[in-house]
A and B are shown apart, each in its own frame.
Chain A
Amino acid sequence: MRIAITGGKGGTGKSTVATALAVELAKKHKILLIDADVDCPNDHIILSAKLKKEKDIFQVQPVWDFKKCIKCGKCSEVCRANAILFIKEKYPIFVPDLCNGCTACTLVCPSKAISKGKQKIGSIFHAKKFNIDLYTGEMRIGYEEASPVVNALKKHIKSMEKKYDYVLIDTAAGTHCNVISALSGCDMAIAVTEPTPLGAHDLDLILKLAEVLKVPSKVVLNRADIGKKELIEKISKKYKTKIIAEIPYRKQIIEQYSKGKPIKDENITKVIREIE
């Protein structure tokens, strides 16, 4: 079973819930935890796990042979990522950080001056802790596109998924391409939110996205006692789902988190009851 832990809004407790779930589930099951927040992965910090690099992720990148280049500017014209700058009668200037590797430039070049090289866009790391296999994707600093890194991470773990009872995917905040990549193909999405107007607003967006992607969703309410719970109940109802657990705001939880430790809370067992 593949479960995504998501939420829309940032800082609602996605990683906190994902790691706590993984720790609890790993007592009885084989657990694969995927940190797909490749912009800012944090699960290893909460688990105090030491990451070992498994491999780098590469992407196709154009390489120009200026001996063959006729300075026509067509490569720049077709590049929708704006990664190729062209000034008349000059050789094109390439901005690797903007390139998404689509190869349109190599296809259009009339003098075959562009060949396919590669650039590093991120890395995949592994760690074992509390009987959990953690795989973390990390995007290279300065690179723009998170979703190819997420896709490479998902591809990397695909062959090993069968060995596990549960695959937990911790997504980034937001609703754009990197979250779509992480959510698609999951059997369930757990949306972690908080009882504030912002939490409710962003929950609305992420539940809508899950609906569009046909992933059934459940809601976990974090810091449940500081705000307005009705806001979240209303949105959950709108998407015909429900709040399956409420985690209270407790100083002890915050302290555990600020020390970089997975939290322990009886409400995590309620979440497990829903997925087991």
Chain B
Amino acid sequence: MKTITILSGKGGVGKSSISASLAVLLAKKNKIIAVDCDVDAPNLALVLGLKKYEKKETIQTSEKAKLIPSKCIGCKKCMDTCIFGAITWDKKKNKPIFDKYLCEGCGACELVCPANAIKLDKVKNAVIGFGKTKYKFPIFSGQLKMGESGSGKVVTAVKAKAENLAKTKKFDYILSDSSPGIGCPVIASIQGSDFIVAITEPNPATLNDLKRVLQVVEHFRVPYGIIINRWDINKEFSEKIVQFARKNNMPLLGKIPYDKAFVDALVNLTPIVTVNKKYEQLFSKILDNILKYL
């Protein structure tokens, strides 16, 4: 079983749309599982036209500090220790106030409290959805609950679910769609991947973000290739990206043009390869290029 992860650094460059089309094509000859690792704003199931998850499971990967008021002696050690600024002081009651959005659940306050007045409570911080798409492959999606923290750990949990199923039922591929950025959820998406597909667009901001995320990918030594999306919006700049890739020995997996057909496909919640022959061919070529590395 091999894991292919789609990422980009910058948001909105077409990760989910491209993931959906690649998944549909890959599933034609292989047993695959799709995973949405953008747990902040998961969209892959939506793009694949999934209306309802078959199963939903609440998970707890985060903890929050909670006060046991009767034990508190008002020493303020907890507030002095918290580096996240999550503890303020209630002068009237002479007791700490915990801000649940700022609390990282590190447990330092619990350790420093001489009266054992602080406990860490497990928090139901995310939901993992499981469903079967109409393209005959299953999907796992993580969704962080509003205002909760620990997106990296949620990504790891969603991936573990998919990996378990893939191992027991002998699947060939896991295709995972990552979130924008370069921080904890993206790092959790990269870890354990066999190949990374990095999406970019021909403009300075997107190229800048691509370079940042590729540094993280290189840190974890995962092989990768690049797709230039909407390449014809600025052909000159696209040529620059091609040169940049060549100079750094980065495989160019393919170039996708700008076409309103992509917007229409997205609005209708159908991956473009299922409704457009031309793009079915283009994406098949891109997929072949990816599979060469696996």
A and B held together in a complex: yes
Partner of B187, one of A40, A144, A177, A259: A144
Q: Is B209 an interface residue (CB 8 A)?
A: yes
A258/B203 contact (C-beta < 8 A), A9-B41, A42-B208 known: yes
Partner of A141, one of B105, B184, B212: B212
Tell me, in angstroms, the Cα distance from A103 to B83 when the chains sit together. Answer: 8
Cβ of B147 and Cβ of A180 under 8 Å apart?
yes
Main secondary structure of the interface of A (DSSP, over half): loop
| Residues of chain B within 8 A of A42, CB atoms compared | 10, 205, 208-209
Q: Is A216 an interface residue (CB 8 A)?
A: no
Cβ of B107 and Cβ of A10 under 8 Å apart?
no
| Residues of chain B within 8 A of A221, CB atoms compared | none
Cβ of B107 and Cβ of A78 under 8 Å apart?
yes
Tell me, in angstroms, the Cα distance from A228 to B264 when the chains sit together. Answer: 10
Tell me, in angstroms, the Cα distance from A173 to B10 when the chains sit together. Answer: 9
Cβ of A151 and Cβ of B85 under 8 Å apart?
yes
Closest chain B residue to A206, Cβ basis: B41
Cβ of B81 and Cβ of A11 under 8 Å apart?
no
A107/B112 contact (C-beta < 8 A), A100-B106, A142-B216, A209-B146 known: yes
Tell me, in angstroms, the Cα distance from A212 to B100 when the chains sit together. Answer: 12
Interface string of B131-150 (1 = CB under 8 A from A): 00000000000001011110
Q: How many residues of A contact B (CB 8 A)?
A: 63
Q: How large is the interface on B (under 10, 10 to 19, 20 to 34, 35 or more residues)?
A: 35 or more
List residues of B (201-245) whose CB comes within 8 Å of A's CBs: 201-205, 208-209, 212-213, 215-216, 219, 233-234, 237
Interface string of A9-43 (1 = CB under 8 A from B): 11110010000000000000000000001011010
8 additional A-B pairs beyond A39-B182, A40-B182, A173-B11, beta carbons within 8 Å, are A11-B11, A80-B105, A81-B106, A102-B106, A103-B83, A144-B152, A144-B187, A198-B46
User: Which 8 residue pairs of A and B lie closest in terms of their CB atoms, listed nearest first?
Assistant: A10-B11, A11-B12, A174-B40, A102-B106, A39-B181, A42-B205, A173-B11, A40-B209
A residues near B, CB below 8 A? 8-12, 15, 37, 39-40, 42, 45-46, 59-60, 78, 80-81, 100-104, 107-108, 139, 141-146, 148, 151, 172-180, 184, 194, 196-198, 201-202, 205, 208-209, 212-213, 226-228, 254-255, 257-260
6 contacts between A and B (CB under 8 A): A39-B9, A45-B208, A46-B205, A78-B107, A108-B111, A180-B149
